[in-house]
Amino acid sequence: MVNRKTGTFSMEVKKTVDKGKRLLKMHNDYYYTEVKGTPFSVGVALSRGHGKFFFRGNVSVEAGLHDLEQPDVALADEWTYCNTDEHHEHRSLSQIQAIKLYLTGRKPLIKCDRELIQEVLFDAVVTAPLEAYWTGLALNKSENSDKGVEIAYLGTRTGLSRTNLFVVTEDLSNQDFLTAEDKEGVFNADHFPLWYKRSAEQVPGTFVYSIPFGGNENKSVVLASTAIQLLDDRKSPIVASVGIQMKLDFFQRKFWTASRQCAALDGKCTISCDNEDIKCYLIDNNGFILVTEDYSQTGKFFGEVEAAVMNKLLLIGSFKRINLHDYQALCREYAGSSDSGHCLSHPFSIVKWLLTELVIFLLEFNLYSWWHVDLSVK
């Protein structure tokens, strides 16, 4: 890109997410070229997991607009489906309103990305049955009697998202989730939501569990998400990512109940978490504790609690140690102040300066004497 050439290359990258506590490994394809008539170049990075392949279908405009305007549907705020800045009368429009104006063909005409709009209309129609399904679950109180599941959510590659609340907003344990306050949890101009990316990079059909860092036990939640793919193949496009937010204590109760259900004929567990001599933990794929008998250990790195067991897991290959270095943040020396009067406020700095000058003087004097004697001998 510096030489303003056109080309492509691929490489595996490691990216820290979730405030630097988790690692996301991706294989990216990079495309770059010059911008003619300017001194600049442009590059695009596409992840092979969720950014390179896509699925496209056609639906009628009427059906697409009907499902796009439902209350549980939202589009990425920072994505540009239509250019609302070109004309003054369009600047107050939301992206959904701009799409409707574009498809109805009313003047003044507005410029939009037609392919992206076709894809988002298709996603709106295909995901529409979820609204009725989630509503049915909410009305069936026996399915969620203790209100353990709080939110169900879905996101597609086109920036469309659907959400359904199973509790009132005031009772949400994490009220910032899926809002503008949660920068990593929503579609932004430069990235997909964290729950979308993590599930897309996992093996198809598997769930990714995570717990927020720094939350207390009364308001902690667990996120569970999985990617929806057309085929059980890494080259299959990611259609969407779907998941739920549930209370931590609800999730832990489910785990303890499941741990007591054994497949033995007599119904007895050979190893039970009820045994006082056995400590049971449930950890996520990054080694953070999801479930433990000691609530204070929830969310901690497993190696901090059970270092010997963690080392054993590393030896048998269950986990892999990855070292990351931030070379841009490396600072070997303290530059200090450039103000010459700064040393007056520190007496020890004056002494250090005098000693340094004395050593330099002695070295120069000895070198001069040696040079003078050497010339005299010659």
Per-residue pLDDT, averaged over 80-98, amounts to 86
pLDDT in tens, 210-224: 887 644 444 578 899
87/33 same-domain check: no
Whether the pLDDT of residue 174 is over 90: the answer is no
Residue 193: inside a domain, yes or no? no
Spatial CA neighbour of 223 closest among 194, 201, 200: 194
Stronger pLDDT, 48 or 11, i.e. the higher one: 11
Model confidence at 243, in pLDDT bands (50, 70, 90)?
A: very high
User: Using alpha carbons only, what angle is made at residue 100 by residues 94 and 103, rounded to the nearest 5 degrees?
Assistant: 140
Whether the pLDDT of residue 276 is over 70: the answer is yes
Per-residue pLDDT, averaged over 6-16, amounts to 87
Whether the pLDDT of residue 90 is over 90: the answer is no
Residue 299: inside a domain, yes or no? yes
Residue 355: inside a domain, yes or no? no
Tell me what pLDDT residue 263 has: 60
Whether the pLDDT of residue 363 is over 80: the answer is no
Per-residue pLDDT, averaged over 244-270, amounts to 79
Domain boundary (123, 146, 168) is at 123
Tell me what pLDDT residue 378 has: 40
Spatial CA neighbour of 178 closest among 98, 22, 72: 72
Whether the pLDDT of residue 336 is over 60: the answer is no
Stronger pLDDT, 162 or 273, i.e. the higher one: 162
pLDDT in tens, 108-145: 688 899 999 999 999 999 999 988 888 888 777 665 56
Domain span holding position 30: 7-47
pLDDT in tens, 55-66: 778 889 899 899
Model confidence at 266, in pLDDT bands (50, 70, 90)?
A: low
Give pTM, 2 decimals.
Answer: 0.73
Cα 321 from chain centre: 20
Tell me what pLDDT residue 216 has: 44
- Range with the poorest average pLDDT among 103-107, 237-241, 311-315: 103-107
Place of tokens 């007056």: 344
Residue 83: inside a domain, yes or no? yes
Percent of the chain with pLDDT over 70: 79
Q: What distance in Å separates the CA atoms of residue 84 and residue 91, rounded to the nearest whole number?
A: 5
Token duo for residue 28: 């990216």
Whether the pLDDT of residue 295 is over 50: the answer is yes
301/273 same-domain check: yes
DSSP per position, 150-206: EEEEEEETTSEEEEEESS-GGG-S-TTTTSTT-GGGS--SS---HHHHHHHTSPTT-
Per-residue pLDDT, averaged over 91-96, amounts to 87
Question: Mean pLDDT of all residues in the chain?
Answer: 80
Residue 266: inside a domain, yes or no? yes
Per-residue pLDDT, averaged over 7-32, amounts to 84
- Report how many domains make up the chain: 3
Tell me what pLDDT residue 324 has: 75
Q: Burial of 366 by CB count in 10 Å (0-12 exposed, 13-18 middle, 19+ buried)?
A: exposed
Spatial CA neighbour of 125 closest among 98, 92, 156, 81: 156
Residue 160: inside a domain, yes or no? no
Residue 117: inside a domain, yes or no? yes
Domain boundary (323, 339, 363) is at 323
Model confidence at 162, in pLDDT bands (50, 70, 90)?
A: very high
Domain with 43 in it: what CATH number? Answer: 2.10.70
In the sheet that holds 41-47, the strands lie side by side as 7-17, 22-34, 41-47
Residue 111: inside a domain, yes or no? yes
